[in-house]
Structure 1
Amino acid sequence: MALTNEKVQTYGTETTVNESTETHPGWMFWKKRRYVVATLAFFGFFNVYALRVNLSIAIVAMTENKSITLDNGTIIYGPEFDWDSKIQGYILSSFFYGYITTQLFGGWLSARIGGKRVFGGGIAITAALTLITPWLAKVNVYLLLAVRIIEGIFEGVTYPCIHAVWARWAPPLERTRLATLAFSGSYVGTVVSMPVCAYLAKALGWPSIFYFFGTLGLIWFGIWWVVVAETPAEDSKITKAELKYIKESLGHSDGNRRITHPWKEILLSMPVWAIVVSHFSENWGFYTLLTQLPKFMKEILNFELGKTGFMSALPYLAMSIMIQFSGHLADWLQEKGILNTTQVRKLFNCGAFIAQTVFMLGAAFWLTPAGTISCLTLAVGLGGFAWSGFSVNYLDVAPQHASVLMGLGNTVGTLPGILSPIISGYVVTTPTAQEWQIIFYIASGVYLFGCVFYGVFASGEVQPWAIQKEEGKGTPMKERETKGHDNKSFEPDL
């Protein structure tokens, strides 16, 4: 690692951080405790999504026709749970009823008691509830609905509260890099858990899905609780060099400065609503496929359960790859001066939405296994470019208010998780290919609306109401006003 003096600008202050004592190469992440935290956060988000999507596969096994032996020895042929499509829609969306309620609360609570505790506790309680899900499902469908809602409540704190972890652990120029590493666990968790759930259901029965991932979540929690400290100063394994580097890079930021959020200006800002609408649009397609794709493959494409889990994971594998590629490309276009921030955000976001509209329509008309899977994989995968548009845009328009804007956007972005499965349950009742085509038409329309709205109203510039007013300070915010937000997440670790 080269000897560097790193200048960090933090809203009116400039700090010079000497990084020369950090002698470990970038690839030796286990030597740097902040990257150990990020890696364990990666596996935390892996569990978050594994615990979220397990029911999407399990419900296929729970409701399929098969031979069942009753307690008295009688053998009947039929589903173990005779739930119609409407009930299944409510079951699949119930998680999000709770999830939407704790987005803002999770950020507030983690600021009070610490991000490590809230993040770990939220996943641990969800995992423990997952272990009792099979028993509750067999007792009463309303108990299943209740436990899924409660799981959503505890998982809802995970995304906002992780920012409290980075506030104490991440040097300013590494925050996006560390956050990207952690959040990518969500997509990897989806890719891995879907085929594993399908295998477990076929080999050991659908209850094994909940036992396996519930246990895995509790094991992760034990490791997280023991290994990760709330702050670098409390970490007994951290080196003096790393502790000094983190403290110095964060020490001159006024972490205790009270930020007043201009709610009226935020709620009347069209660039903010452009981001929120895009967040909603992207999540509509994402959650539609997350909750409905296994059923579609089983009912229309006639895939066996084991193959359904594997094929359902392909779109999310594509997305996990594309999101890394798009981030590199977006930063390169800005660094070379080819496009400014606004142009990059609009190009990536609107380009992705147009492509997703086309491929969703392609999936509706090309109802063959190869054609449909190809279209849906491209539709979800290209969403990675959209995430390099709207998701980073929160930092462009209002850096110091970005966490609040993310809470607003993620709250609205959770609505598709509630609405899409319910609408699908009412539309797909027979089921027929024509009914499923309507679901793809709706997703295409939402993508197209998001594209037009974002293309018209989005901006990559710091908004006037977000410019910090401080007397006697430098002008870094003015510089950001003209440049937008520089994403350092993919710069090499020299």
Structure 2
Amino acid sequence: MPDPRGKGQMSPKEEAPGTGGDRSRDADVRMVSSTSKGFCSVRHGLALILQFCNFTLCTQNMNLSIALPAMVNSSVLPCPANGSDARDTCNETLPGFWAADPVYDWSPDLQGVILSALNCGSFLASIPCGYVAGLFAAKQLIGASLCVSSVVNLLIPHAADAGAALLIVLRVVQGVAQIIVMTSQYEIWLKWAPPLERNQLIIFSISGPAADQDLLPLGAGSALGACSVVLAGGFLCETLGWPSVFYVSGGIGCACVCLWFPLVYDDPEYHPFISARERDYIVCSLALQDRVPYRSLPMKAMLKSLPLWSILVSHFSVWWYISVITAYLPTYLHSVLAVSLSDSGFLSALMLGAIFVCTILGGLLADVLFSRKVLSLLVIRRLFTAIGVLFSSLFSVSLSWVSDSFSISIAFLVLSLAASSFCQVGSLVNFMDIAPRYSGFLKGLSLVFTNLSGVIAPTVSGFFISQDTESGWRNIFLLSAAINLPGLVFFLVLSRADEQEWAKDQMLTRL
């Protein structure tokens, strides 16, 4: 990407010595910062659009899980074949809304493969997509990938008619497209987020570490999207039929694409609606952080970087508990707390809403503590990670001893999930501090570890539950705490919040 200032103009780093460039730049930042902050700005509008994108991705992630019970409803006789004949046969089988849509004779094993296809695509594409995110304009990558994911979502009902194989292929493609959106959006903030507002803007906009597509997201837009799907998905299936879930979420995605291309720009200097004061504030704030797109990666230095490994280990350990709760929350509510299926949807939405609120508040609190110099950035990252891990482990382990009380159990579940959202302001965004230049690639790398955790944790948890329900859940929560706590110690000891030498421009090495 060429320098937008042109060849004939020096960048802030190229000012002649003794000209007072640094002092004048600091003065410019102070001059405009007092009137450039606030939520009525283009950069906060960009965060809102990105949250809409992540909201859309989450609805598209979860809609198959919501619709699948209706697609393979056991009360309806299996159709003899897929395709138009299947639809006609099903229509003649039973009256009512179920008869209006086809029902498929998919075995539980095949259903598991279909549900995991999205994860497979995201797992395979995490690192390549993270690398690509640093090479091309984020606006084009995000817009095109969101468009692909939305179109695929609209095609899912027709793919199911054509056969499970085509449905699996489309879900893999959708997983790849969504990973590109997740990794590329971090590149947007390299030129749009002033350092003192970075926590606030990123936390408000991202999907959180929604690496595994079936995981319970911590990001604001994703939590809101998950809450909406849980509340509305069942209603749509019962009233309009299960295809409506895909059509609605796909249509929302297409509407988001129509907003994305005319309203989003990679560089604030070229945005047609930004004020001169806000543009100057952003440019001056980031003057010392100008970056050019990388063409190679310091892989050897990355492999030797203990601060980077502390982040990756923390991603794995934090997402272990989140993935267990996501996969088995309805099962826990129904089998342990004896909650009806209709009420479990409301309770799940309540918990997702708590995550949404706590994620926003955590980002705002971190920015206040950092901007007022109450705590250093490293202390903030470590403190919020410790709060998220310790309190979520405490409340989750305690669930086994309060299961006789419904209200206390629900309160502990909400508190454990709300506490875990504080990790989003801690270790889960720490890669932006140590290597902002490679944020897209490192986000993709971290998704590998979150996906790995998301694959292993539900499998191990299912084994425990199959042995004995009561002792199984106690062992699940104890194992989650046993994995979370060493990961926390590893992060507290080895984490850093300053840009590492290997992440700077002059430290480039060939792949």
TM-score range, shorter chain: 0.7 to 0.9
Quick check: 1:48 aligned with 2:47? no
Matches of 1:447 and 1:349, distance apart in 2: 11
Aligned to 1:319: 355
Q: Which moved more, 1:169-178 or 1:219-228?
A: 169-178
Matches of 2:379 and 2:51, distance apart in 1: 31
Secondary structure at the counterpart of residue 225 of structure 2 = helix
Secondary structure at the counterpart of residue 273 of structure 2 = coil
Quick check: 1:445 aligned with 2:482? yes
Q: Which amino acid aligns with 2:419?
A: L
Matches of 1:91 and 1:424, distance apart in 2: 20
Quick check: 1:131 aligned with 2:167? no
The correspondence for 2:118, drawn from 80, 92, 95, is: 95
Matches of 1:84 and 1:427, distance apart in 2: 23
CA 1:304–1:132 in structure 2 vs 1: closer, same or farther (change >3 Å)? farther
Q: Which amino acid aligns with 2:396?
A: M
Matches of 1:348 and 1:247, distance apart in 2: 29
Aligned to 1:109: 132
What TM-score do you get using the length of structure 1 for normalisation? 0.78
Q: Which amino acid aligns with 1:270?
A: L
Q: Which amino acid aligns with 1:382?
A: A
Quick check: 1:346 aligned with 2:355? no
Matches of 2:307 and 2:133, distance apart in 1: 28
CA 1:176–1:352 in structure 2 vs 1: closer, same or farther (change >3 Å)? closer
CA 1:359–1:397 in structure 2 vs 1: closer, same or farther (change >3 Å)? same
The 5 A counterparts of 1:376-391 are 376-391=413-428
CA 1:226–1:330 in structure 2 vs 1: closer, same or farther (change >3 Å)? closer
Deviation at 1:138, TM superposition (A): 4.6
Quick check: 1:151 aligned with 2:187? no
Matches of 2:105 and 2:337, distance apart in 1: 22
Deviation at 1:98, TM superposition (A): 0.8
Quick check: 1:206 aligned with 2:242? yes
Quick check: 1:268 aligned with 2:304? yes
CA 1:309–1:75 in structure 2 vs 1: closer, same or farther (change >3 Å)? same
Does structure 1 conserve the Cα–Cα contact (< 8 Å) formed by 2:334 and 2:341? yes
Q: Which amino acid aligns with 2:60?
A: L
Q: Which amino acid aligns with 1:114?
A: A
Matches of 1:257 and 1:81, distance apart in 2: 48
Matches of 1:408 and 1:11, distance apart in 2: 33
Does structure 2 conserve the Cα–Cα contact (< 8 Å) formed by 1:397 and 1:459? yes
The correspondence for 2:399, drawn from 363, 368, 381, is: 363
CA 1:22–1:329 in structure 2 vs 1: closer, same or farther (change >3 Å)? closer
Does structure 1 conserve the Cα–Cα contact (< 8 Å) formed by 2:150 and 2:253? yes
Deviation at 1:382, TM superposition (A): 0.3
Does structure 1 conserve the Cα–Cα contact (< 8 Å) formed by 2:228 and 2:349? yes
CA-to-aligned-CA distance 1:351-409 (integer Å, 9 cap, x gap)? 32122222222334544654443232222110122222212432444454544433322
Q: Which moved more, 1:321-330 or 1:245-254?
A: 245-254
The correspondence for 1:162, drawn from 179, 182, 185, is: 185
Matches of 1:346 and 1:26, distance apart in 2: 27
Root-mean-square deviation (CA, aligned residues, Å) is 3.9
The 5 A counterparts of 1:73-472 are 73-75=92-94, 80=103, 86-183=109-206, 184-247=220-283, 253-256=289-292, 261-298=297-334, 301-331=337-367, 340-364=376-400, 366-367=402-403, 369-423=406-460, 432=469, 435=472, 438-460=475-497, 463=500, 465=502
Aligned to 2:45: 36
Matches of 2:46 and 2:176, distance apart in 1: 24
Deviation at 1:339, TM superposition (A): 5.3
Matches of 1:338 and 1:229, distance apart in 2: 34
Q: Which moved more, 1:405-414 or 1:452-461?
A: 452-461
CA-to-aligned-CA distance 1:300-340 (integer Å, 9 cap, x gap)? 55544443322212222222222233344445556676655
Q: Which amino acid aligns with 1:55?
A: L
CA 1:33–1:352 in structure 2 vs 1: closer, same or farther (change >3 Å)? closer
Matches of 1:108 and 1:129, distance apart in 2: 24
Matches of 1:261 and 1:112, distance apart in 2: 11
Q: Which amino acid aligns with 1:105?
A: P
Q: Which amino acid aligns with 1:288?
A: V
What TM-score do you get using the length of structure 2 for normalisation? 0.76
Matches of 1:203 and 1:37, distance apart in 2: 35
Aligned to 2:211: none
Matches of 2:476 and 2:73, distance apart in 1: 22
Aligned to 1:491: none
Q: Which amino acid aligns with 1:314?
A: L
Matches of 2:374 and 2:290, distance apart in 1: 34
CA 1:40–1:187 in structure 2 vs 1: closer, same or farther (change >3 Å)? same
Secondary structure at the counterpart of residue 256 of structure 1 = coil
Q: Which amino acid aligns with 2:128?
A: F
CA 1:264–1:26 in structure 2 vs 1: closer, same or farther (change >3 Å)? closer
Q: Which amino acid aligns with 2:323?
A: Y
CA 1:403–1:358 in structure 2 vs 1: closer, same or farther (change >3 Å)? same
Unaligned runs of 5+ in 1: 1-7, 471-494
Does structure 2 conserve the Cα–Cα contact (< 8 Å) formed by 1:364 and 1:441? no
CA 1:467–1:225 in structure 2 vs 1: closer, same or farther (change >3 Å)? closer
Aligned to 2:5: none
Matches of 1:58 and 1:374, distance apart in 2: 28
Matches of 2:14 and 2:397, distance apart in 1: 45
Identity %: 27
Deviation at 1:97, TM superposition (A): 1.1
CA 1:74–1:241 in structure 2 vs 1: closer, same or farther (change >3 Å)? closer
CA 1:69–1:156 in structure 2 vs 1: closer, same or farther (change >3 Å)? closer
Structure (1 or 2) with the greater strand fraction: 1
Q: Which amino acid aligns with 2:322?
A: F
Secondary structure at the counterpart of residue 307 of structure 1 = helix
Matches of 1:84 and 1:456, distance apart in 2: 47
Matches of 1:313 and 1:40, distance apart in 2: 22
Does structure 1 conserve the Cα–Cα contact (< 8 Å) formed by 2:319 and 2:450? yes
- Aligned residue pairs, count: 461
Unaligned runs of 5+ in 2: 1-10, 16-20, 80-88, 207-219
